[in-house]
Chain A
Amino acid sequence: MSLDKATVAKIAHLARIKVPEADQEHLAGELSNILNFVEQLNEVDTVGVQPMTSVAPHKLRRRPDAVTDGGVRDAVLLNAPETAEGFFVVPKVVE
């Protein structure tokens, strides 16, 4: 499995990480190495094997359907880079 620059650019876009074109080639090599390393899993026969979803089977405890949290707007906004009138502020999305 070998990734090309175009695929790296596509993954970077999906992951919302800016990767300058100059770095794409190098990153393609690194990611390809990791993908080649994990290819070995194809040797394992997994026909009929359920994917693991939990370590030990355990039943979830039920709770009453009641509000247990909330009314903490200021705490929620405390670490925001930019806020206004009780909202998060982001760059304009719709022109």
Chain B
Amino acid sequence: MTDLTKLTMTGALEGLAKGEFTSVELTEAHVRAVEASRALNAYITETPDQAIAMSERADAQRAKGEAGPMNGLPIAVKDLFCTAGFQTTAGSHILEGFKPPYESTVTANLWRDGAVMLGKVNLDEFAMGSSNVTSYFGPVISPWSPGVLVQRDAAETDAGFLAEVTAAIRQPRPVQEWQWSRKLVPGGSSGGSAAAVAARCAMAATGTDTGGSIRQPASFVGIVGIKPTYGRCSRWGIVSFASSLDQAGPMTRTVADAALMLGSMCGYDPKDSTSVDMPVPDFKAALTGDIRGLKVGIPKEYRVDGMPAEIEKLWQQGIDWLRAAGAEPVEISLPHTKYALATYYIVAPAECSSNLARYDGVRFGLRVEGGDLKEMYENTRAEGFGAEVKRRIMIGTYVLSAGYYDAYYRKAQQVRTRIAQDFEEAFKLCDVILTPTAPSTAFEIGANMDDPIAMYLNDVFTVPASLAGLPGISVPAGLASDGLPLGLQILGRPFDEATVLKVAGVVESAADFTALPPFVSARY
């Protein structure tokens, strides 16, 4: 039965349609995989009973001939999406125990189409981070971390004079445990989503991307992650971080699965005025593999100083793959690229300081008492937020404060226009843009912690498209010499996810990435 966790969603749909197995069987296999993967700390809340109930409903719908596009597929939900009646924490102490009375539009769309919820997965606190180490619920360990499965005897040993006697008669209780030689990050902020999908304890997961939080973790764990154009997915019911940047997207093991799930997640929502009022294309139909004549932009500014040679090499490999498939690489220039991170680290904290003002200990979440109302606010927020969140709230408060708004926030939004204009100009010369997803492979938990700026550099290739609101995907393209996955990023014109997916499909076929994380290959 463990074979069922090896399936892609597209493959599982075929099996379900043919009656080879039921959604209940598929879901049970994944519930067991969730239990077997607890050492990764990918899930904050497991919802096995809900999963089984949803899978029974999915089977009943299929029997009636009413199977939706995601019917019976067990997935994980980033704990930033509100799920009615199920704890939603945003990875923060301040929301611990919060049970939303409503469902986010994106998850509601997925349940409408028949998907099954396995649980809520870990993330950086309020999605602020690139390593999943800022979560109040502890870091997620990447299934790619090197280690071995060891067997140990968990039977209790007594101390004292009876020890010898009990040792002679006791039953050994062998347990299998994973022992890591190095613990690597899965990337962030959608680190739990990435780890769960790579570890085969979810067929797919929802993610959100503000500056790279879908694409960078996808690259770190060797899966596919797409951030659609800003406005494609409703933000209603997603805990807000930076409202002009936040966008939901699927994290899957194949491009076809990404196309399938994106189609379910997208759509106009009257409850989010920034969601776009346009039809959702059939993304799967775009995966023709035919990219002949397509122009692929290669931005010269993305050849940053200190980029590892093997990432440069993989990028060239990607260019060669697309050329071999009939596309035409063209050099393009995105001159304001070097200012993207600085722009992001004004815009995102400013919006976060405004959005997170709602956590005051009055209406929901944590309350820490104080002498008066103001002290109650200050105590609640001091205890409820972690260090990185406080840092960003304070930077945001500063850049929005009287006398500094124009110098920082307005200036940043002007540079953001420049960055968006760079892309507009570039897309006159090309149809898509190919870049590496991240400047490195996954690093160790604890690295980059004493220097916030060093951590921010992880997002150097993903942030520009976030600022411009463009669709972007990361596709696994190969393994680096350290044995860890590397992804390539494809960016497209606004609302042209179809072309982005099509090109991603070609990269996927050429790369033929089949490597399994050690945590998974030991289990199979």
Q: Per-position contact with B for A24-53: 1 when CB-CB < 8 Å, else 0?
A: 000100110111011111111010011111
B13 on the interface (CB 8 Å rule)?
no
- Determine the distance from Cα of A42 to Cα of B406 in the docked complex, in whole angstroms: 12
Knowing A33-B453, A37-B342, A58-B277 are in contact, say whether A44-B415 is a contact too (CB < 8 A): yes
Knowing A56-B276, A90-B376, A93-B372 are in contact, say whether A17-B393 is a contact too (CB < 8 A): yes
Knowing A46-B415, A58-B277 are in contact, say whether A41-B363 is a contact too (CB < 8 A): no
Q: Per-position contact with A for B76-119: 1 when CB-CB < 8 Å, else 0?
A: 00000000000000000000011111100000000000000000
Q: In the complex, what's the smallest C-beta–C-beta distance from B101 to chain A, in angstroms?
A: 4
B377:A58 contact, CB within 8 angstroms: no
The answer, among B231, B342, B360, for a CB contact under 8 Å with A58, is B231
- Determine the distance from Cα of A35 to Cα of B345 in the docked complex, in whole angstroms: 9
B342:A81 contact, CB within 8 angstroms: no
Knowing A34-B395, A55-B229, A58-B231 are in contact, say whether A15-B353 is a contact too (CB < 8 A): yes
B47 on the interface (CB 8 Å rule)?
no
B345:A37 contact, CB within 8 angstroms: yes
A15:B408 contact, CB within 8 angstroms: no
Knowing A17-B394, A58-B276, A82-B367 are in contact, say whether A93-B378 is a contact too (CB < 8 A): no
B362 on the interface (CB 8 Å rule)?
yes
Q: In the complex, what's the smallest C-beta–C-beta distance from A74 to chain B, in angstroms?
A: 9
The answer, among B360, B401, B413, for a CB contact under 8 Å with A16, is B360
- Determine the distance from Cα of A14 to Cα of B396 in the docked complex, in whole angstroms: 11
- Count of chain A residues with a beta carbon within 8 Å of a chain B beta carbon: 52
Query: Which residues of the partner chain B approach A27 to less than 8 Å between Cβ atoms?
Result: 391, 394
Stretch at the interface among B201-209, B379-387, B473-481: B379-387
- Determine the distance from Cα of A75 to Cα of B381 in the docked complex, in whole angstroms: 24
B394:A11 contact, CB within 8 angstroms: yes
B120 on the interface (CB 8 Å rule)?
no
B452:A41 contact, CB within 8 angstroms: no
B311 on the interface (CB 8 Å rule)?
no
- Determine the distance from Cα of A12 to Cα of B362 in the docked complex, in whole angstroms: 19
- Determine the distance from Cα of A92 to Cα of B273 in the docked complex, in whole angstroms: 37
A80:B363 contact, CB within 8 angstroms: yes
Knowing A17-B385, A51-B413, A56-B276 are in contact, say whether A81-B397 is a contact too (CB < 8 A): no
- Determine the distance from Cα of A79 to Cα of B89 in the docked complex, in whole angstroms: 12
Knowing A11-B398, A44-B336 are in contact, say whether A80-B378 is a contact too (CB < 8 A): no
A35:B395 contact, CB within 8 angstroms: yes
A6 on the interface (CB 8 Å rule)?
no
B468 on the interface (CB 8 Å rule)?
yes
- Determine the distance from Cα of A54 to Cα of B229 in the docked complex, in whole angstroms: 12
B411:A41 contact, CB within 8 angstroms: yes
B339:A40 contact, CB within 8 angstroms: yes
The answer, among B99, B370, B381, for a CB contact under 8 Å with A78, is B99
B6 on the interface (CB 8 Å rule)?
no
Q: Per-position contact with B for A1-26: 1 when CB-CB < 8 Å, else 0?
A: 00100011001101111110000000
| Residue ID in chain A nearest B419 by CB atoms | A52
- Determine the distance from Cα of A82 to Cα of B361 in the docked complex, in whole angstroms: 9
A16:B377 contact, CB within 8 angstroms: yes
Q: In the complex, what's the smallest C-beta–C-beta distance from A40 to chain B, in angstroms?
A: 5
B452:A40 contact, CB within 8 angstroms: no
A44:B418 contact, CB within 8 angstroms: yes
- Determine the distance from Cα of A14 to Cα of B357 in the docked complex, in whole angstroms: 10
| Residue ID in chain B nearest A49 by CB atoms | B414
B463 on the interface (CB 8 Å rule)?
no
- Determine the distance from Cα of A44 to Cα of B362 in the docked complex, in whole angstroms: 43
- Determine the distance from Cα of A42 to Cα of B410 in the docked complex, in whole angstroms: 12
Q: Per-position contact with A for B486-524: 1 when CB-CB < 8 Å, else 0?
A: 000000001100000000000000000000000000000
B284 on the interface (CB 8 Å rule)?
no
A67 on the interface (CB 8 Å rule)?
no
The answer, among B97, B382, B401, for a CB contact under 8 Å with A18, is B382
| B residues 413-457 in Cβ contact with A at 8 Å | 413-418, 420, 452-453
- Determine the distance from Cα of A40 to Cα of B341 in the docked complex, in whole angstroms: 10
Knowing A41-B412, A63-B270, A81-B362 are in contact, say whether A55-B397 is a contact too (CB < 8 A): no
B390 on the interface (CB 8 Å rule)?
yes
Q: Per-position contact with A for B249-288: 1 when CB-CB < 8 Å, else 0?
A: 0000000000000000000101001101100000000000
- Determine the distance from Cα of A75 to Cα of B102 in the docked complex, in whole angstroms: 9
- Determine the distance from Cα of A38 to Cα of B382 in the docked complex, in whole angstroms: 26
Knowing A78-B101, A79-B365 are in contact, say whether A52-B397 is a contact too (CB < 8 A): no
- Determine the distance from Cα of A53 to Cα of B365 in the docked complex, in whole angstroms: 32
Q: In the complex, what's the smallest C-beta–C-beta distance from A37 to chain B, in angstroms?
A: 5
Q: In the complex, what's the smallest C-beta–C-beta distance from B391 to chain A, in angstroms?
A: 6
Query: Which residues of the partner chain A approach B415 to less than 8 Å between Cβ atoms?
Result: 41, 44, 46
Query: Which residues of the partner chain B approach A11 to less than 8 Å between Cβ atoms?
Result: 394, 397-398, 401
Q: In the complex, what's the smallest C-beta–C-beta distance from A11 to chain B, in angstroms?
A: 5
The answer, among B357, B364, B408, B469, for a CB contact under 8 Å with A80, is B364
B369 on the interface (CB 8 Å rule)?
yes
Q: In the complex, what's the smallest C-beta–C-beta distance from A9 to chain B, in angstroms?
A: 11
- Determine the distance from Cα of A48 to Cα of B101 in the docked complex, in whole angstroms: 46
Q: Per-position contact with B for A54-69: 1 when CB-CB < 8 Å, else 0?
A: 1110111101000000
Interface residues of B (CB under 8 A from A): 97-102, 229-231, 268, 270, 273-274, 276-277, 336, 338-339, 341-343, 345-346, 353, 357, 360-367, 369-379, 381-382, 385, 390-391, 393-395, 397-398, 401, 408, 410-418, 420, 452-453, 467-470, 494-495
- Sort A-B residue pairs by CB-CB distance and give the 4 closest, nearest first: A55-B469, A51-B413, A79-B364, A81-B367
